[in-house]
């Protein structure tokens, strides 16, 4: 009997001496803080990856649009006029064979995606801007373009001032107005987005001249001003080479 009591007392003492397990409030706070830091460090690269993927998708779409424009020229002998409405169709004056809305012999508006059968907007839901040397979009009763067609080509510039153009012989240019979408036409509403705060992005949608800006991307607050437009253009000699190879010129 005495030995049983001794064993029972020993077991109770062992139970009382067993240490308590679990986290204190301070330890829990430290763990939560560390988890928050880890999640934050993961989210920043993830957002960067998403943005880069959107840029890559838009660059791919613009490359496909460029090829579609070349194919359109080979098939028809001329390039399409811009869409100056909302239906994605080129705006042509059938009586004259000229594009409507011409400034300084350059026609600007939205990409006629329905005419071309290409994407109707970039990944951010905005229409592409499209500018062209209008003489390359003329058709009957006007004369089609040839190797000697002059007109006013689109200038690709490093900034709005365009002191030293990157290219002075672009038959056309197509612009995505990037993630910020400043000045672009929204596909869903058909309305123009708010104006860009910097002149370089303003230049790419003003439709008042033949200048298009293409330069390094910069964020808001940068010395050069915010710029995230993505641009593709078509030099006239690239167009001529494709037309000659397809026996459409001279």
Tokens of 95: 């009586």
Check residue 121 and give its pLDDT. 96
233: left (phi over 0), alpha (psi -120 to 50) or beta: beta
Check residue 19 and give its pLDDT. 56
- For the chain, the farthest-separated pair of C-alpha atoms sits apart, in whole angstroms, at 122
Cβ atoms of residues 115 and 76 within 8 Å: no
Check residue 213 and give its pLDDT. 97
Residues sharing a CB contact under 8 Å with residue 74, sequence separation 6 or more, in sequence order = 242, 243, 246, 248
Mean pLDDT, 10 residues at a time, the chain of 250 residues: 53 53 70 74 68 93 97 97 94 95 92 97 97 96 95 96 94 97 96 96 91 94 94 97 94
Check residue 107 and give its pLDDT. 95
Check residue 3 and give its pLDDT. 55
What are φ and ψ of residue 44, in 5° steps? -65, -55
Check residue 230 and give its pLDDT. 98
Cβ atoms of residues 218 and 200 within 8 Å: no
Helices 236-245 & 25-76 angle (0-180, nearest 10) = 60
């Amino acid at each position: 009997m005495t030995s049983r009591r001794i064993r029972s007392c020993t077991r109770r003492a062992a139970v009382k001496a067993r240490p308590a397990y679990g986290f204190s409030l301070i330890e829990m706070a430290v763990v939560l803080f560390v988890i928050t830091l880890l999640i934050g460090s993961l989210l920043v690269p993830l957002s960067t990856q998403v943005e880069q993927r959107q840029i890559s998708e838009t660059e791919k779409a613009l490359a496909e649009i460029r090829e579609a424009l070349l194919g359109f020229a080979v098939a028809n002998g001329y390039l399409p006029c811009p869409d100056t409405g909302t239906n994605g169709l080129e705006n042509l004056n059938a009586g004259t064979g000229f594009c409507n809305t011409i400034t300084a012999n350059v026609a600007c508006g939205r990409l006629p995606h329905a005419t071309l059968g290409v994407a109707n907007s970039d990944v951010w839901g905005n229409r592409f801007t499209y500018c062209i040397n209008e003489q390359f979009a003329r058709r009957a009763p006007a004369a089609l373009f040839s190797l000697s067609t002059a007109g006013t080509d689109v200038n690709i510039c490093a900034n709005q001032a365009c002191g030293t153009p990157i290219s002075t012989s672009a038959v056309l240019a197509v612009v995505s107005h990037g993630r910020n979408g400043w000045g672009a036409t929204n596909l869903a509403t058909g309305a123009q987005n708010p104006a860009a705060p910097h002149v370089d992005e303003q230049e790419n949608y003003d439709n008042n001249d033949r200048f298009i800006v293409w330069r390094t991307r910069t964020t808001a607050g940068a010395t050069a001003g915010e710029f995230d437009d993505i641009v593709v253009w078509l030099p006239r000699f690239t167009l001529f080479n494709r037309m000659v190879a397809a026996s459409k010129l001279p």
